[in-house]
Structure 1
Amino acid sequence: MITVKTAMAQDAWKTVIHHIMESGIDVEDEGNFITKELLNVVVTVEDPSNSKPPESYSWSGEKLKKYQKQFLDPENIGLPYTYGSRFREHFGLKVGRDTYRVRTDQVESVIKRLKENPTTRKAVMTSFDPSIDQYQDEVPSMILVDFKLRQNRLHTTAVWRSHDIYGEWIPNFFRLKGLSVYVADALGIKLGSITIHSVSAYIYKNNFKGALKIK
């Protein structure tokens, strides 16, 4: 297991890239792509509020702001899944195969739970649906988000089963930050640390040259 703790997200991203390029194992994935991979990479960003994308990074400005909202948007137009849909309307109490009596908004549910019991260990959301995802190719990469209220700060932990570190870690961090800010604002408290656990942390071969240039 690799553990990284930094103040800023951009520094954490660079550190993980260096670890993978130096110590990663070559793995050919299910799509026949060559990658370098490390298992169980855990990154904690202690100051997400002041974290910014690396300079010249492709995800920035309005594009990044739009991407941040995706965890909170329940609308899904014909896609196998979206995180906003999985978090806000996918799950619920079924009365038939495709008929719901109550749809569960997991975001509002964790806010309610944290308001009722600030020390709860049950403020957890999931995006993985075994009844669907065990039988299809397009499966959520980020499968769990956990919130803890400690010392009047909201601390967020998320688990990715599979994580493209070079191409996706930065945008994923910032949309997770957007979700965390939404929850923290609803609770009237400040944002704490954000921790990302990548069970499979990898870089695609076509990004090796770019990764080696990261300083």
Structure 2
Amino acid sequence: MLDIATFPTFHDAYIAVLDATTNRPEHSIATRGNTSAELLNVSYRITDPRDRLPFLTRRPVNIAYNLAEALWYLSGRCDLDMIGYYAPGMGTYSADGQTLTGTAYGRALFTPGGDGHTQWDRVLDLLHKDPDSKRAVLGFFRPDELADPANPDVSCTIAAQFLLRENRLHLTSYMRGNDAYMGMVSDVYAFTFLQEFAAILLGVQVGHYTHHVGSMHVNEPDYKAVRRLLAEAHQDGYQRPVFAPPMMPSPSSWWEVLTVLEQEEALRTNTVHHTPATIEATGLPPYWQQVLLVFEAHRQIKHTDRPVTPDILDALDPGYRWLVTHRWRNRTTADAP
């Protein structure tokens, strides 16, 4: 077997890729005014795709955005209303100020075609009928995205391929380019989230996840931040926080996804306020309740000037709590304004 860099968790892969791209780049490139350090043809595998989050005090990821992006894809939406709430900067990639094109992967995956079926439907149906198939490919990149040289939002992902082997669903993604510091975190999170959901719908186990990138890069404005992050990860005696990753329950179905999306919209628009008790009353399993707890914490951060209430923080999964409290330190302590 040909060797491929293999890591037990995304945290480990993240540090290794950042280190190699920043400290041992093959090229320095400048495209569309962006100077970057670049490695070509980077591939790695994660043996446990559920362990999809890095835990670094120098870069506590926005777990609310990660969850929202995965759900945005599942909804098939391409509007800025939902995803722009969690990441306002994404508006710079919209040509009309209202929608996204290449970045809106859900539109490609979950919009019904002329036969009334989505790409997602066809691929899962294929695997039901032919588990050993090599054709279970989801296409993202469209040739017409290059028709307009000024297109601000060309898909970074070319395709993703499901491979069902020995009752385990593996996923391989193929990307033309990936921002190792910022974009890779959310891309791997969303793709492995979809992988886990697909495995549950198929009634099989989650296999490994493999990430292939033509141009892995770190942008020049992020060099200092990346080096500080690497210094943290490589310091003597460093031990990263270890949390058991939440596991999507089996069975899970589109009912849970649609219920969470309905609640997310109500929280995003500040028309609903939740407590752990009202979230439990939705009837969602605990895994999906945790998603709503994150969104409620985020609602309080966005729509109030008070600290996140202790009942919400205490009810959060330990890993989620770590991320929320480290990313929004001034909103998760008693002395916050």
Q: Under TM normalisation by the shorter chain, which class is it?
A: 0.7 to 0.9
After superposition, give the CA deviation of every residue in 1:5-50 in whole Å (9 maximum; x if it has no partner). 1000010010011111222134333211110000000010011123
**Could you say which residue in structure 2 is the equivalent of 1:129?**
142
CA-to-aligned-CA distance 1:40-67 (integer Å, 9 cap, x gap): 0001001112343223334243332112
Return the letter of the residue paired with 1:79.
L
Matches within 5 A, 1:79-118: 79-81=100-102, 82-89=104-111, 92=113, 101-102=114-115, 104-118=117-131
The amino acid of 2:53's aligned partner reads: K
Q: Normalising to structure 1: TM-score of the pair? A: 0.88
Residue of structure 2 aligned with 1:187, choices 179, 192, 202: 202
Unaligned runs of 5+ in 1: 93-100
> 1:153 aligned to 2:168?
yes
1:151-181: per-residue Cα shift (whole Å, max 9, x none)?
2111000011010001111111110011101
Please identify runs of 4+ aligned residues in structure 1 that moved more than 4 A.
Answer: none
The alignment yields a C-alpha RMSD, in angstroms, of: 1.8
Which structure has the larger Rg over C-alpha atoms?
2
Corresponding residue for residue 179 of structure 2: 164
Structure 1 window deviating more from structure 2 (136-145 vs 112-121): it is: 136-145
1:176 & 1:37 partners in 2: Cα distance?
A: 23
CA contact (8 A) 1:10 1:51 kept: yes
1:98 maps to none
Give the letter for the 1:133 counterpart.
Answer: E
**TM superposition score normalised by structure 2:** 0.57
Of Structure 1 and Structure 2, the greater strand share is in 1
Alignment-derived partner of residue 41 in structure 1: 42
Highest RCO, 1 vs 2 (Cα 8 Å, sep ≥ 6): 1
Aligned pair count reads: 204
Answer yes or no: is the 8 Å Cα contact 1:3–1:41 preserved in 2.
no
In 2: Cα distance, 1:156 partner to 1:15 partner: 21
- TM-superposed CA distance for 1:121, in Å, is 0.5
Is residue 40–residue 197 contact of structure 1 (8 Å, CA) maintained in 2? yes
Question: Matched residue of 1:52: which SS?
Answer: coil
Q: Which has the higher helix share?
A: 2
The equivalent of 1:50 in structure 2 is 51
Q: Extract unaligned runs of 5+ from structure 2.
A: 80-98, 234-337
State, as a whole percentage, how many aligned pairs show the same letter: 23
Contact 2:52 2:188 in 1 (8 A): no
